[in-house]
Structure 1
Amino acid sequence: MKSDTEANAARRRRRLVVAVKQSLRDLRVQLSVLNHHVGVKIELKDVDMDCLDLINRHGGLSPSALARSAGLHPATMTGILDRLERGGWIVRERSSSDRRAVTIRTVGNRSGEIFRHFSGMNTLMDEVCANYTEAELELIADFLQRSTGAGRDASDELAG
């Protein structure tokens, strides 16, 4: 049987875990709001911005690889890529050896336009991070990476 001390410690831990999960949900909502506001400024839908970010971070991707990364149906991806291409955000490059193979790349000079709209958040995050030690930042980075992995695994399971 657990002692009162152990039971209290277990309750405190459960409350902290719930607080962490709630904070992650709050963060997700706030980042969605921020992304929506940026999207309005640059005339991109939220899903278009997500795909553009994936292309920016992962380099040239095939449309099917991008669809898998974004968790979207390939037909949906076609419409997104059409909008991004019309807006001058991406180019579709065809392989010289296989004309059916397409690689999606961002148009380099457009990235600054997006980054300017996120500069306020980046500055505020620099201020937040300044209050943590290097060891604490390593712990936070590890937590966020592991949380991202958990989200990916949960998404894969649902898509399964």
Structure 2
Amino acid sequence: MSSVTPRNRRQATVQIKDGLRDLHNELSTLNRQIGTRLAIKDTDMDCIDLINRHGPISPSNLARQAGLHPATVTGVLDRLERAGWIARERDPADRRAVTVRALPDRGREIYQLFAGMNTAMDTICADYDDQQLAVIAGFLQRVTGAGTAAARALAQDSGAPD
């Protein structure tokens, strides 16, 4: 017989939700600190991360992934290009299209500033076995998917681009 009661389950669920909110706040603080050091706005940092992870990427795809209006992304890309973070290039498959790629030297600056957090994450993950890590990774993917779906639903309700 399970010792988990509905009340205990609700409490655990609330703790998880609170923990995710706390994590969001702490990561936002870390990103702001790094952004301040690099003189980059929060939205610009988010876009650099997406470009680093998914690039080369088209500006329209970046706008979709960032949940930003294409005109906003144009301004972000203008700032990032002027500051030497990204390069815009013609797509070899379609000369009319543009792709955006991160410049590696600047990316190393960001990586160095996140080194402390990355090391801490490695230490934390070392305390879990492979099966536990798979459960955590799956949970985070599902939560990310739920966040994506919720943001898209709100964007559709407001008529904003998703």
Question: Above 0.5 in TM-score?
Answer: yes
1:48 aligns with 2:44: yes
Q: Which protein has greater RCO, CA pairs closer than 8 Å, 6+ apart?
A: 2
Question: For each residue in 1:56-81, what CA deviation from the matched residue of structure 2 results, as whole angstroms up to 9, or x when unmatched?
Answer: 10111111111111000111111100
Q: Which runs of 5+ in 1 are unaligned?
A: none
Which residue type is aligned with residue 20 of structure 1?
I
**Structure 2 CA distance, aligned partners of 1:120 and 1:96?**
38
> Which residue is 2:112 aligned to?
116
Matches within 5 A, 1:61-72: 61-72=57-68
Which residue type is aligned with residue 124 of structure 1?
A
Displacement of 1:100: 3.2
Q: Which runs of 5+ in 2 are unaligned?
A: 157-162
**Structure 1 CA distance, aligned partners of 2:65 and 2:103?**
20
Which residue type is aligned with residue 21 of structure 2?
R
SS for the counterpart of 2:99 is strand
Displacement of 1:110: 1.6
Matches within 5 A, 1:3-152: 9-95=5-91, 98-152=94-148
TM-score by length of 1: 0.91
Question: For each residue in 1:70-113, what CA deviation from the matched residue of structure 2 results, as whole angstroms up to 9, or x when unmatched?
Answer: 00011111110000000100011123575431111111222111
TM-score by length of 2: 0.90
> Which residue is 1:155 aligned to?
151
**Structure 1 CA distance, aligned partners of 2:46 and 2:93?**
30
Which of structures 1 and 2 has the bigger CA Rg? 1
Q: How many residues align?
A: 155
**Structure 1 CA distance, aligned partners of 2:140 and 2:95?**
40
Please give the root-mean-square deviation of Cα atoms over the aligned residues, in Å: 1.7
Displacement of 1:132: 1.1
Higher mean alpha-carbon deviation, 48-57 vs 105-114, is at 105-114
Structure 1 runs of 4+ aligned residues shifted over 4 Å read 96-99
